[in-house]
Amino acid sequence: MTNNQDYHIPVLLHESVDGLAITSTSIVLDVTFGGGGHSTYIHSKLGPEGFLYAVDQDQDAHSNAIDATNFKLINGNFKFVKNHLLALGVKRVDAILADIGVSSHQFDVAERGFSFRASAPLDMRMNQKSARTAAQLLNEGSEAELLRVFNTYSDIPNVFRLVQTILSLRQSSLFEHTDQLAEMCQPLAQKGKEHKYLAQVFQALRIEINDEIDALKKLLEDAVDLLNDGGRIAVISYHSIEDRMVKNYFKKGNFEGKEERDFYGNLLRPFDEINRHPIVPSEEELNRNNRARSAKLRIAQKR
């Protein structure tokens, strides 16, 4: 099965793939295969001499694999994509695409625990073989750890109160299901903004459970070694933390956004930006796919 839009509708499809400047002989890497939407479009641009490698750690995504001799779907976390490719004898590629975040499938399958709209186990693991679930984090995490998670990965205004409520509740009843967490959060949210509050809580837990920030950092650093000179990388992000990381790395060559220059005053950075400002979905795309509303695309070329 390819381009499974029931699984996930690809976001900024043409903007991201066209921005990679792929040719018929390009070697391309899609590190977030999902429903295969981006990969299907990438593959349509390749000839017999081109090749597409894709990566996904969610076993559900592998049912969408493209049936072609010049396509390989790797089961794994893109945090380790450099090692995955080396194991296949691949050292360099011409283009890399990353659509960071959760697929529609992961949200829509209630038992995965990514959504607060249905009662389900508090799981949230993209790789279901990973050890720690969201429930375990809530039940076993220290006060300091929980404060770090919600302060870092959400914009919740009352993080201390949230964490104290979690610590208190788990003394009498351990967290097991999504509706249990959602019910706890309701009185903590500003009236009329309960949905936004719940989304922030679930987002923070998901980012922590799946080590999403460190994985993105590692991918950006590895892209410097993986890309051929002149090769391009396109990253679609959905959270301000992720977008800031990508922006800083493309603009300044580090995640802190500090300017570092050589003896001659040249900015030390491995990439040149293709678009100085993020590309966002059009109104037409948002009408088709509301889940694309927070997407931001940045494209860069290796120097």
pLDDT score, position 105:
47
CB atoms inside a 10 Å sphere around CB 284: 8
pLDDT score, position 51:
98
- Decide: pTM greater than 0.85: yes
CA distance 11 to 192: 29
* Domains of the chain by start residue, with CATH: 13-104+212-302 (3.40.50.150), 131-209 (no CATH)
**Per residue in 165-202, is it b (16+ CB within 10 Å) or e — as a string?**
ebeebeeeeebbebebbbebbeebbeeeebeebbebbb
3-class state of residue 71 by DSSP = strand
pLDDT score, position 111:
54
Rounded to 5 degrees, φ, ψ at 18 are -60, -30
> Residue 74, class by beta-carbon neighbours within 10 Å (0-12 exposed, 13-18 middle, 19+ buried)?
buried
Structure tokens at 117: 């709209």
Chain-centroid distance, C-alpha 106: 12
pLDDT score, position 290:
87
pLDDT, tens digit only, all 303 positions of the chain: 345 455 568 999 999 999 999 999 999 999 999 889 999 999 999 999 999 999 998 777 788 899 999 999 999 999 999 999 999 999 999 999 999 976 554 545 555 555 666 788 898 888 777 779 999 999 999 999 999 999 999 989 999 999 999 999 999 999 999 989 999 999 999 999 998 999 899 999 999 999 999 999 999 999 999 999 999 999 999 988 999 999 999 999 999 999 999 888 888 999 999 999 999 999 999 999 988 889 999 999 999
